[in-house]
Structure 1
Amino acid sequence: MKKLLVSLICFAGLTAAAQTPTHEKLVQYVKPIIGTQRMGHTYPGATVPFGMVQLSPETDTPSYELNGKYNPDVYKYCAGYQYDDKTIVGFSHTHFSGTGHSDLGDFLIMPTVGALKLNPGTADKPGSGYRSAFSHANEVSEANYYKVKLDESNVTAEMTTTTRVGFHQYTFPKTDQAHIVLDLMAGIYNYPDKTVWTYVKVLNDSTLVGFRQTNGWARTRTLYFAMSFNKAFAQYGFKKYEKRQVYGGFWGKFNQSKNFPEIAGKQIRAYFDFKTEANEKIKIKFALSPVSMDGALVNMQAEAPGWDFEKVKADGQAQWETALDKITVTGSTEKKQDFYTAMYHTMINPTIYMDVDGQYKGLDQNVHKADGFVNYTTFSLWDTYRALHPLFNIIEPQRNADMVKSMLVHYDQSPEHMLPVWSNSANENWCMSGYHSVSVLADAVVKGNAPFDANKALDAAVATARHRSYEGIGEYIDKGYIADERTGVSVSNTLEYAYDDWAIAQMAKKLGKTDIYNEFIKRSENYKNVYDPSVGFMRPKLANGTFRAKFDPLSTINEGFIEGNSWNYTLFAPQDPEGLIKLMGGDKRFVRYLDSLFTMELPDKYFAETEDITRDGIIGNYVHGNEPSHHVAYLYNWTGKPWKTQERIRMILNRMYKPTPDGLGGNDDTGQMSAWYIFSTLGFYPVAPASNDYAIGSPAINSASIQVGGGKTFNITVKNQSEKNVYIQKMTLNGKPLTSLSITHQDIMAGGELVFTMGSKHK
């Protein structure tokens, strides 16, 4: 057991001691298939907690263009897999989990039998290429394990991972025509010229290395690999799919189709041939590195030196067991499946982005070495600052601190001297609104989880917030709002900047920087400048100080907002609920507004505005599938009607989450939807990260125990729990009555017990 724990700590980059669970196995409740249908955009394949490899099937990789126009199916395949599809194209090694944007899908591998086919074929005619039909009846999806039977070839495909290595196991029939196809062209979000260059070098009869350069959402990205087989291949070859063949010089001196020493090009598919006996297993280890081919080889040797597939699977599932054990809950099997799959989804991203020796590619495209921290990437911060990072501050504090350190080196390497906005693979994608890395930094500092230079973090946050040339910040500083003429998301930006300013103010207050606090607490009230009392909504404002005349608060198109309408964004001032309620006319008017949000019926025309708006994730006009509304149900707590919060929370939990393929009411957004579920199921939520307070909701489990470090646990007991008993009758904290509608971070981290007594009628 000691060797196992040492292995897990080393290979997963864990810095805290692993704990040995003493209760039932929790991995059994993880169902990665949840969210793979409709708009959840999750994937069913194998990965370890925060792993650099996400090895998963692609049911399609549609081209960005269709008949010269944008192909709407690209959005559908953000994770490469759609549950309703009937065919699998292959298995690739990198995936985003639950995003609303496509990329990755690197290094697709597919086993085939019979005549060699190097084109992917089509969904209606899978046999025309290397694609295969499959059935969910022959599919298994677990934490760090995926298995499926490929009907076309009668091959059983299995896969598992370490942090940096994908481990494939393919069980073949008896044949002289067994092939492994390596597609270097395939990828999610396949718009023209995404693949810049690829390279493959064969080292011997069972090992090769190479790299792939892409210009996708991450516009300058190189990923290196090492690929090793457990059996020597009989022969190998490739095909280029390029209009212009570049041979010349060295290349022309060797056979260019079979048994090549090395190849390079933009569009290459390679193959490796075997003769197999019945039920013979061809195994492949595929290691990744952000730095070099040698780095990939070292990663492979360090993490997967042997060929024991079952051991790698078991080791990875042991990592998941340790991670899931941070919170243990009691309840029905379905509740546990929802809860532990949500836990699983929160621990996929961000992902580790460095070799075993600490080297990583930086934002400046140079190689750096992480000194005293684990470097992470995939920061979908517009989504995850709200609940995911606050959750990490409770159950994964060291990881969250390392994520902050990763953001700070990003700042150091940034030519713009800005913290990340939406970053991935040593690239800044500049996606979405606000500069919410400052919220993550502030939340860590305010909550005392700051084993980093907190003053440097504050300086980086301030520099980012004063970056006048970025997305209207200069105008925001001068006018107190962003003018409608400047951008189509002027109101969203104004509101989100105001929240970020408040977060900076809280960090400054914690560090005793009064001048910075005063500057940013004043800026945090700028949300009031885009509220139009004549209509009762946040509304686009012109440069001359008047509100735009033509305005539809129900529309999401060209009305000043991103991923939401004015009805939802009018409630976005999580830093100042009391001020917002006063601004909107007081408690009674505010409650009527909230009630209407949840109960109105949106006309059909609003669902036809864009290709990705469906009724998924929507209750009335409340859009749970888009994050700006995630705090909204908790706002009743500030109106004297907390029972309405309790009622709404339980309704959302029941309608937006279930243990089925379509069980996520919208994109999981790298774990934010799942983090909302975890907090809300436990009975509290961080309405305003960078505050010490969590708003009370309505717990949906029988009991829970949260490991908060230092051998301490924070226990939650729920008396009279049932589907009907959604209303809190009384609460106690450590045996004393709790009369407030919040608990503090310190209450949780000190350990103790929170007891809810529930009933079917509100008090």
Structure 2
Amino acid sequence: MKRIIFSLFCYAAIPAMAQTGGGLTKYVNPLIGTERMGHVYPGATVPFGMVQLSPDTDTIPYEMNGRYNGDVYKYCAGYQYTDKTIVGFSHTHFSGTGHSDLGDFLVMPTMGKLQLNPGTADHPETGYRSRFSHDNEVARAGYYKVKLDDDNIIAELTATNRVGLHQYTFPAKGDAHIILDMMSGIYNYKEKNVWTFIRVENDTLITGWRQTNGWARTRIEYFAMAFSKPFKQYGHEKYDRQVYRGFWGKFDNSKNFPEMAGHQIRAYFDFDVNAGEKVLVKMALSPVSTEGALKNMKAELPGWDFAAVRQQADQLWEKELAKIKVNTISADDKVNFYTAMYHAFINPTTYMDVDGQYRGLDMNIHKANGFTNYTTFSLWDTYRALHPFFNLIQPKRNADMVQSMMAHFDQSAQHMLPVWSHYANENWCMIGYHAVSVIADAIVKGNTPFDANKALDACVTTARHRTYDGLGYYMDKGYVPEDKSGSSVSKTLEYAYDDWAIAQAAKKLGRDDIYNEFIKRSLNYKNVYDPVSGFMRPKLDNGEFRKEFDALKTHGQGFIEGNAWNYSLYVPQYPEDMIEMMGGKKRFAIHLDSLFTMHLPDEFFAETEDITRDGIIGNYVHGNEPSHHTVYLYNYTTTPWQTQSRVRMILKKMYRPTSDGLGGNDDCGQMSAWYIFSSLGFYPIAPGSGQYSLGSPAIVDATLHLENGNTFTVETKNQSDKNVYVSKVELNGVKLDRKYITHEEIMKGGKIVFYMSAKPNKRA
């Protein structure tokens, strides 16, 4: 999900990675995509970790001068590469989203005079923030290091699943402070702290919690924070003077008082340090309680060996990255590939304590029995390629994610599967009910260590929820009327795909009644196609197409994050029927050519808020997910070789090993999953079909190490940057006379060989 702003590509070099170790993690550069719209963070986390410990380069007030501050979009991940200062290091972050939240428990080390306000980017000396240089910054998988120039402090970060570990090296003897800012956060403009609480347990341990009301309306997070040496004193700023009136006024509770509570708390802990001394901080998180946070700390990080924890994080990433061993044409391609795998394996995130307890959607405490509970489901994005990638490479984790969705359904007052959920909250962001696609894809592919029929029932209940987002109109009329519910064409098309996915799962399970109901609903895409204009078009409640229509615009035209050119191609479940409906293979190929080559005037970008030159090739919007399958539609036309050349073109233009190297929000790994699949030479245009459409692999060779013990190898012959066309494909030594391979063929193991050429094979 994205909110895109007008901008132009610029290229920024990023510093070379620290080359430690000989494994695959040396090819991961977390700084890729940290500039502009990639919205990823460079800090320390482990695969699918509950802690995302990362620097925040600014903290944007949720409101300025009584008006919405648009920069909250810029700081969805808390970090922008072009910024010159760091405010501190917080413990929760989204990766690549188009909406802001999290940024919990910001920690910052300082020396000298104590300052308890963050200061400004122009004048960091007025607060606790610090200037920094990318020349003194290192970002690797599971590790981050930076020099805080204002106090010459070296900050290093690493993490376990549930615990963040800081190591601060102080440059001189003197007074040192570690600030805990409970006010700071990565918010949308309406978010605010509901309440914060800190309890000083002893001179090395504090606990507490924080509740916020914003994108997630009732989000609460607990922590336990430990120091490697005792602090000599502590206190906090009285930002909430009103909470200290009455009986609490008997105490001077601003200093060395063991309980701090209020809407706005910034605490400090003072230390005497020597030159070169290292002070370490552990921050364990829990969705349940401070007791849970302490248990997590004891279980995962009982000691203080920073190097050992960093090495352990590196090994965890090495294990996950090694599931695909790839050789590439260039070193840059290898960095792009493994950084994409890194980003794909960040979200969804673990959301439970070591004992399995977690906070549910009903705000009660539940226990995950037999599965890991996950959160951060950006499903409008990730159902397309990320979850199919998990079904291939991470099937056990994906099955756990499905069970997490089922727990969400059981706890939902609306009796619905998640739409966009995080931290025991449903945000209802974007459209469709795409959890059903994730579940159906798992069922069709046989990845069901759960009650598949119960999961299908949850899909059906969700899809019959008449009060949800125009769904009642859709069920009655076969389309969503634009005058009754906005973004109506997009909703109709996405509902139709989701219904098809339900039908495929029902077919697999022998549920004929469900299959018949939803296969009929899956044809509703036809009801918003206008043969006169040749586009999908908004239809009114009276059955007529709306007269005012501009195929290039988005707002008010019945679409979301796309226009009629993009969404008219969104019938992934029936590509052949869609092409025939739109005039046949030759005419459709011309339509695709126009999409990629047309020139959009400057005034188009100026007048349309959510379309930008970022992530766009012609009118093809790679930076927005509804277009991700589009290039593979050439396979169903008279010019299938165009899939091959354009895939390779998109890979080069939209993904680069630079700070601005992502052509759009990574969206919790969806953009990265597209890159991985397309680099390997195949892509799931319709999850739930069990098929992968063939493209043009950009690798020399790759070996997929599957969880069932089999290996599947992708090999290319005559590979080069110029040889982007495929003259022949062989599967296990036999020529493949179709434009797809199946999930079953991959899972059995074997080898697919692509013979590459500088010229298209127009007879294939």
What's the C-alpha RMSD, in Å, of the aligned pairs? 1.1
Aligned length: 740
1:191 counterpart = 2:189: yes
Superposed displacement of residue 271, structure 1: 0.2
Structure 1, unpaired ranges of 5+: 1-22
Aligned to 2:15: none
Structure 2 segments unaligned to the other structure (5+ residues):
1-20
Partner of residue 728, structure 1: 726
Q: Select 1:73's aligned residue among 71, 74, 91.
A: 71
Match of 1:297 among 285, 290, 294: 294
**Structure 1 match to 2:630:** 632
CA deviation after TM superposition for structure 1 residue 712, in Å: 1.2
2:72/2:189 contact within 8 Å kept:
no
Q: Deviations over 1:225-267 (max 9, x none)?
A: 0000000001000013236333433x33432111111111000
Whole-angstrom distance in 1 between the partners of 2:463 and 2:708: 36
> Which 4+ residue blocks in structure 1 deviate beyond 6 angstroms?
none
Instruction: Please give the secondary structure, in 2, of the residue aligned with 1:75.
Output: helix
Q: Structure 1 residue 61: deviation in Å? A: 1.6
Q: For the residues of structure 1 that align with 2:609 and 2:106, how far apart are their CA atoms?
A: 28
SS at match of 1:66: coil
Identify the match of residue 714 of structure 2 among 710, 713, 716.
716
The yes-or-no answer on 1:555 pairing with 2:553 is yes
Match of 1:413 in 2: 411
- Give, as a single letter, the amino acid of the residue that structure 2 aligns with 1:188: I
Deviations 1:713-746 (A, max 9, x none): 0001101000110000111111111111000001
Cα deviations by residue, 1:499-555 (Å, 9 ceiling, x for unpaired): 000000000000001111011011001011011111011111000000111111111
Corresponding residue for residue 273 of structure 1: 270
Partner AA of 2:62 in structure 1: Y
Task: Name the counterpart of 1:238.
Answer: 236
Change (3 A) 1:193 1:338: closer
Q: Say whether 1:94 aligns with 2:87.
A: no
- Structure 1 segment 137-286 matched on structure 2, within 5 A: 137-189=135-187, 191=189, 194-242=192-240, 244-249=242-247, 251-286=248-283
Which segment is superposed worse, 605-614 or 494-503? 605-614
Does structure 2 conserve the Cα–Cα contact (< 8 Å) formed by 1:113 and 1:175? no
Q: Counterparts of 2:191 and 2:553 in 1: how far apart (Å)?
A: 35
2:352 paired residue number: 354
Q: Cα deviations across residues 171-193 of structure 1 (Å, max 9, x unaligned)?
A: 00223221001000000016356
| Distance in 1 between residues matched to 2:554 and 2:55, nearest whole Å | 34
**In the alignment, structure 1 residue 327 sits paired with structure 2 residue 324:** yes
Cα distance between partner residues in 1 of 2:610 and 2:689: 33
Residue 9 of structure 2: aligned partner: none
User: 2:4 is matched with which residue?
Assistant: none
For residue 438 of structure 2, what is the aligned residue in structure 1? 440
For 2:159 and 2:227, the matched residues in 1 are separated by 15
Q: Which amino acid aligns with 1:241?
A: Y
3-state secondary structure, aligned to 2:243? coil
| SS at structure 2 position matched to 1:203 | strand
**SS of residue paired to 2:242:** coil
Q: 1:377 aligns with which of 371, 375, 378?
A: 375
Percent identity between matched residues is 69
* Residue aligning to 2:14: none
CA deviation after TM superposition for structure 1 residue 479, in Å: 0.3
Corresponding residue number in structure 1 for 2:17: none
Q: For 1:724 and 1:176, locate their aligned partners in 2 and report how far apart those are by CA, in whole Å.
A: 61
TM-score (norm 1): 0.96
**Following superposition of structure 1 onto structure 2, how do residues 727-746 of structure 1 map, counting pairs within 5 Å?**
727-746=725-744
Q: Secondary structure at the match of 1:615?
A: coil
Secondary structure of 1:283's counterpart equals strand
* One-letter code aligned to 1:212: R
Distance 1:210 1:453 in 2: 38
Q: Secondary structure at the match of 2:467?
A: coil
- Cα distance in 2, alignment partners of residues 559 and 43 from structure 1: 34
8 Å Cα contact 1:104-1:188 kept in structure 2: yes
Q: How far apart, CA to CA, are the structure 2 residues paired with 1:294 and 1:513?
A: 46
In 1, distance between residues paired with 2:547 and 2:489?
15
Match of 1:582 in 2: 580
2-structure distance, mates of 1:432, 1:698: 31
Question: Which of 489, 492, 496 is matched with 2:490 structurally?
Answer: 492
Rounded to whole Å, the distance in 2 between the matches of 1:537 and 1:523 is 20
Residues 100-132 of structure 1 deviation map (CA, whole Å, 9 limit, x = unaligned):
000000000001111100000000000000010
Q: Which amino acid aligns with 1:561?
A: F
Normalised by the length of structure 2, the TM-score is: 0.96
Q: How many angstroms apart in 2 are the aligned matches of 1:545 and 1:200?
A: 59
Partner of 2:304: 307
Within 2, Cα distance between the matches of 1:437 and 1:400? 12
Q: Residue 547 of structure 1: SS of its match in structure 2?
A: coil
Q: Structure 1: which amino acid aligns with 2:746?
A: I
Cα pair distance change 1:196/1:345, threshold 3 Å = same
**In structure 1, what is the equivalent of residue 536 of structure 2?**
538
Q: 2:234–2:269: 8 Å Cα contact kept in structure 1?
A: yes
Indicate conservation of the 8 Å contact 1:557/1:609, yes or no: no
In structure 2, relative to structure 1, the CA distance for the partners of 1:549 and 1:612 (3 Å cut) is closer
Once the two structures are TM-superposed, the CA of residue 612 in structure 1 deviates from its matched residue by 5.1
**Amino acid of the residue matched to residue 75 of structure 2?**
Y
Contact 1:61 1:190 (8 Å CA) reproduced: no
2:62 and 2:192 in contact (8 A); partners too = no
Partner of 1:678: 676
8 Å CA contact 1:358–1:374 kept in 2: the answer is yes
- Structure 1 CA distance for aligned equivalents of residues 24 and 555 of structure 2: 44
